[in-house]
């Protein structure tokens, strides 16, 4: 978040107990629709000379291999929320 902001991390357990969720939200600049559609693609980045564009692609792969999902909600000027849902494994 180049202009500062707040990051909030929370967890929830589904009513059925089958899934746990990790929710990470920020109050940053947000993403437009094209960026949201591409954010989990390998080598996609919006940054110049920083990173490889593999971070979110790797996270997506790890989460789906574990039987979960990762979703992004974002709007320019309103921040971004990532929700990771993973099987609770009876915890």
Interval 7-49: pLDDT, tens = 999 999 987 789 999 999 999 999 999 999 999 999 988 887 7
| pLDDT of res. 90 | 63
Q: Domain 7-87, what fold?
A: Heat Shock Protein 90 (3.30.565)
Q: 65: exposed, middle or buried (C-beta count within 10 Å: 0-12, 13-18, 19+)?
A: exposed
Q: Where are the domains of the chain?
A: 7-87
**pTM recorded for the entire structure:** 0.87
Asked whether 26 and 5 are in contact (CB, 8 A), the reply is yes
């Amino acid at each position: 978040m180049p202009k500062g902001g707040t990051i909030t991390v929370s967890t929830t357990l589904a009513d059925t107990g089958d899934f746990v969720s990790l929710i990470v939200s920020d109050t940053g600049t947000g993403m437009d629709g094209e960026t949201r559609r591409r954010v989990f693609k390998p080598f996609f980045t919006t940054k110049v000379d920083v990173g490889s564009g593999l971070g979110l692609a790797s996270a997506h792969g790890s989460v789906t291999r574990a039987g979960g999902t990762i979703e992004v909600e974002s709007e320019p000027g309103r921040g971004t929320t990532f929700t990771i849902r993973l099987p609770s494994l009876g915890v």
